[in-house]
Amino acid sequence: MGYMDKDIAPQNDGALIDAYSQSIAAAIDIVGPAVSRIERVGGRQGHGSGFAVSPDGLIITNNHVVEDAKVVRITTPDGFVTEGRVLGRDVDTDIALIRANTSTGAWAKLGDSQHLRRGHIAIAIGNPLGFEWTVTAGIVSALGRSMRAASGRLMDDVIQTDAALNPGNSGGPLVSSGGEVIGVNTAVIQG
């Protein structure tokens, strides 16, 4: 018979799963209302996700979601549709900033990714392939990775997660279990 210290005895697996589930659900409740579907208006069609970061309608997304569009259509989780204009873009970091024509109602708090560790919970919220908003969860599997932007520039300090990212999740937030944005989902990998 083996010896087991009572202080390290297995806990109730149901309680652990429930705590994990509650952590994910709470983070989604905090950030989910700030996540919108972003569609290009005119020119080449396409869509992805974005998330409001201020009450006056500033939205962050990926540059490859908006590409060369000047105007985008924004659909919030409650079905409200408005337009917005692309204020700026950085091809080298694949980030774009949009200003919605109206307030988005909810906004996400930006966290500090410098305090992340491998193994921390990572929650990806987005709008894959135009379906309803989805959530996937995993962990931060690596920090400080590099990947190529569409411009060919090597982006450093990329967060790698095993949370599934699908086309359409691009531009959505990568969220901590505390409900803070720790990164921007990028589902397009350049060769």
Active-site residue numbers?
A: 64, 94, 170
Length of the chain: 191
- Give the alpha-carbon dihedral of 98, 143, 134, 74, to 10 degrees: 0
Phi–psi pair at 115, nearest 5 degrees: -95, 5
- SS3 track for 92-127: CCCEEEEEECCCCCCCCEECCHHHCCCCCEEEEEEC
